[in-house]
Amino acid sequence: MTTNRRSFLKQASLVGVAAATSGLASFARAATVVNYGGSAWLGHYAAYVAMKTDIFTKLGIDCRWQSFSTSSARMGAVMAGNIDIAGTGVVSALALMASGAKQFQLISTPNNFGKSEGLLVRGNVKSLADLKGKKIGVTYASSSHVLLLDVLRQANLDPAKDVSIINLPATELLAAYRGNQIDAAAAWTPTFDRIKALPDTKLLLDDSSFSLYKQYQLTPGPDVLLVRTAFASAHPDVPKAFLQGVAQANDMMTHEPEKVAPILMTLTNLTQDEQMAVLKQTQWYSHAQQKTLVVGSGGKPGPFDDGVQKLSDMLVDLKQIDQSPKVADWINASYL
């Protein structure tokens, strides 16, 4: 193990994520600037589509895109006040929540993915047992990291002794794998698709092998949208408008993927076929679906809270965070 996982996640406890959506009347005011933290991961597709089309403009939002190679870097920008709304895998947010950070609120979950992330291996690897003594590349404090630790545990492999886990930014995994610096890679799209396309490479497992996915259909790090608390206080209508834009973009990706694919290819650099595959294999939640997941009876957090709480408890068990925060304290369902 090249880096202490727990100290890394404490460092990642300078992180965050957000975005919002809900029916609003058209704005009779100047557009509000929203500094958004994103990347080429599918969790940011909706914000990118809404920004590149006229969706956000019609909702009174001037979205300024900032790209980050890791969720921890993105969350650090949220904590520093440089990002207003962001999307992120919930693992990085949980690391911050475990440290008591209250600078952000979780406001929605925009999608359900399971086939766009997984463990990629050389052709001669038949099972997890074959990875014993091998070097596996992954981005720490990510959903892929959690997936890797969980499946190794299922296979009775000690991540500290039986394999060497190498911490690499998602943008460096492809080069490391291609250059034989690592024997396997746990990654998400678009890096996932690029590695999978290499010769003598195959998918050993995806998120459907994750323990909580088997029980609750929960991926290792579900995407969340979050808003910086101070920004939401100053602009309470903007998170609602943002989530409305996300829902409209999700509808486009669900019903008109062929129209959306060329827009997204400028972000992901995937081929047309690869981009269409990602769009079709992902469930893009409508506004009503997001509300059902996030908003429970009496306006309290819904079933999504229960799933993320179980994930948080698992992270403690995997020694990724020291304590499990009460997830409901960070969920603000009022913007849906």
* pLDDT exceeds 50 at position 19: no
The pLDDT assigned to 263 comes to 99
Q: Output 312 or 19, whichever has higher pLDDT.
A: 312
In the chain, what are the domain boundaries?
Answer: 5-112+222-335, 117-216
Q: Output 11 or 299, whichever has higher pLDDT.
A: 299
The arrangement of secondary structure in 117-216, i.e. its CATH architecture, is: 3-Layer(aba) Sandwich (3.40)
* pLDDT exceeds 50 at position 309: yes
Most confident segment among 20-29, 294-303, 322-331: 322-331
Q: What is the mean pLDDT of residues 19-46?
A: 75
* pLDDT exceeds 70 at position 14: no
Q: Is the fold of 5-112+222-335 the same as that of 117-216?
A: yes
* pLDDT exceeds 80 at position 157: yes
Q: How confident is the model at residue 8 (pLDDT cuts 50, 70, 90)?
A: very low
Q: What is the mean pLDDT of residues 110-130?
A: 96
5-112+222-335: CATH number:
3.40.190.10
* pLDDT exceeds 70 at position 201: yes
Average of per-residue pLDDT values in the chain: 92
The pLDDT assigned to 12 comes to 47
The pLDDT assigned to 114 comes to 85
The pLDDT assigned to 29 comes to 59
* pLDDT exceeds 60 at position 26: no
CA 86: distance to chain centroid?
10
Q: What is the mean pLDDT of residues 305-317?
A: 96
The pLDDT assigned to 69 comes to 86
Q: How confident is the model at residue 243 (pLDDT cuts 50, 70, 90)?
A: very high
Please state which of the ranges 67-76, 77-86, 191-200 shows the lowest mean pLDDT. Answer: 67-76
Each residue's pLDDT tens digit, 224-239: 999 999 999 999 999 9
Q: What is the mean pLDDT of residues 291-316?
A: 90
